[in-house]
Amino acid sequence: MAESVTDAVAVYDEDKAAQAIERLRKNDINIYSSLPASEDTADDILDALGNAEKLSDHLGETINLVHVVAEQRESLNERTSELESYVAVTLIDADGTSYTTGSESVRKEIERVIALKGEPSTWSKPYPCQVTEEGQRPNQWFKLSRVKPTAAKQK
């Protein structure tokens, strides 16, 4: 386990982003960030995580994605009273706003985007996307989709 956020981030410079997020799911590592590793970006990561808004409060809004932070978290299963691990994904907008979710479907789509487009820090422009809620209770899930340039709207 990494000693600090800066140490944790530095580990991923050698990993492909999608593989790093998959390693989070398997509990091999505890945090991934697309922000280049430095002391300053460690502060940016902490700000993004500490000030993140719930993604579910922004369904249907366009997010101009520029960075991703994912971290291993635990929550208490109210039914079984056991701690369960999950990967929380925090999306960072070009305007600096961050949005967080524990949605597995969003995590998988972020892995796919990174696998196809590369590290967000290498993108020439933000990736416009939005999250919608699909399905009906109790089988609902979030769907992350690209907003096509002609349809992209600012928040």
Prior bond of 138 cis (ω within 30°):
yes
pLDDT above 90 (res 2): no
- Please report the pLDDT score of residue 61 as a whole number: 95
Find, among 21, 120, 13, the residue nearest to 65 by Cα.
120
Q: How confident is the model at residue 24 (pLDDT cuts 50, 70, 90)?
A: low
pLDDT above 50 (res 10): no
**SS3 (DSSP) at 43:** helix
Vertex 143, ends 137 and 145: CA angle to 5°?
Answer: 155
Cα 55 to its chain centre, rounded Å, is 10
Q: How confident is the model at residue 16 (pLDDT cuts 50, 70, 90)?
A: low
pTM over 0.85: no
What are the pLDDT digits (tens) for 48-79? 889 999 999 999 999 999 999 998 888 888 88
- Please report the pLDDT score of residue 4 as a whole number: 36
148-153: long-range pairs with CB below 8 Å, 24+: 152/62, 152/64, 152/128, 153/62
What are the pLDDT digits (tens) for 73-128? 888 888 888 888 888 999 999 999 999 999 999 999 998 898 888 889 889 999 99
